[in-house]
Amino acid sequence: MTSILSTVLPAPEDPILSVIFGCRDDPSPVKLNLGAGSYRTEEGKPLVLDVVRRAEQHLAKDLSKNKEYPPLTGLPDFNKLSAKLILGDDSLALKENRVVTVQCLSGTGSLRVGAEFLANNNKERTVFLPIPTWGNHLGIFSFGDLSVKHFRYYDPKSRGLDFKGLLEDLGTAPPGAIVVLQACGHNPTGVDPTFEKWEQIRQIVRSKGLLPFFDCAYQGFASGSLDSDAQAVRMFVADGGECLIAQSYAKNMGLYSERIGALNIVCESEHVARKVESQVILIVRSMYLCPPTHGASIVTTILKNSDMYNDWTIELKGMADRIISMRQQLYEAIQARGTPGDWSHIVKHIGMFTFTGLNEEQVRLMAKEYHIYMTYDGRISMASLSSNTVPQLADAMHAVITRFI
């Protein structure tokens, strides 16, 4: 029998999966995985928020719930509350019914549905991604049959924002081009624009007639404030222009396995919004028909109940504060060892990730000799560190860096 699939080629190496598999297969009892984008407690364990446990208990007791198909766009209350969370209570766009919100499979699914919508409906098929950006962005927008280009974002010399390069590159983008922007806690660098710089970015995006697509994976998880982390998005929405926003509840509610998020499309009018919604429904119907409801029910229960909502914001700030504390502890540990270089970027960066400044050769040495795993570009997850593992990382970084001097 002739094999039809024998000509399939192996997929190229995925840098994130390489880290995961490398750490998995390492028998060392002191191995440390800093490549994964998930929160860990001080004990190195996954965290289920107390408020999530309470919401699930509440749902389990509700015998009126069934397993019927939900609407193609997802649970209506979930969509309404999610849009309000990212856009704010006083959003004019919401009051004018100009926002289309569709429940999707976390942030990744929201981006994918949005990419498909733009590929089918946007006349300008070019999408600009920052250099660097989350590794999955390229695959998502390439599969969406869009032409991917890039704009400068990170300056390796300063380990900060290449703002001049960013403005220059966006200034050359053709009208109608899509610009992917991370709302807060930039992955992989941890470098966010100031609010003043966000305003300048908004001005050039609008003056050039570009279409912003926000990836908001960390609302409340970066600074500890839901409103502060949404401010960049709200700047763009407040000017009356169009934009897309992908939301995720993986990090800020710890619902990684529930795959729960939303795609918001802000339109110029209610009339346009209804047409946009009809096109998005066509996409989700052929892609997965309708979304699962359990994660959406958890989120809805928390956002609808004022006591649960308040408790969630406390737990959320606790996670953000612990990450900020890890930054400070790592910076102080590196300083205490006299490691050459300026390491202030560790405390200046924000969110789950930061660039250490280590190169690929040093990263591979960290794994081989010290059993510490990170992506080859030197990115680490601050959320995977603890007070116990900070000295281990600082010792290894000092040894590797001084070896190459």
SS3 148: strand
SS3 172: coil
Measured CA to CA, the distance from residue 93 to residue 97 in angstroms comes to 6
Q: Which residues contact 149 (CB under 8 A, 6 or more apart)?
A: 126, 127, 128, 129, 173
**Which residues are known to be catalytic?**
134, 215, 251
Give CA separation, 192 vs 85, 113, 238, in Å.
Answer: 21, 25, 20
Q: Tokens 């999610």 map to which residue? A: 82
Q: Tokens 């009892």 map to which residue? A: 29
Q: What is the DSSP string of 83-118?
A: HHHHH-TT-HHHHTT-EEEEEEEHHHHHHHHHHHHH
Q: Closest Cα to residue 32, out of 401, 369, 399? A: 369
- 287-297 exposure pattern, b = at least 16 Cβ within 10 A, e = fewer: eeeebebebbb
Q: Could you tell me where the beta strands, DSSP code E, fall in 185-278? A: 211-216, 243-248, 260-266
Number of residues that make up the chain: 405
Tokens of 217: 């994976």
Q: Closest Cα to residue 190, out of 73, 323, 31, 29? A: 323
Residue type, 248: S
Q: Tokens 């049959």 map to which residue? A: 145
Tokens of 374: 């990170």
**Residues 284, 73: contact at Cβ < 8 Å?**
yes
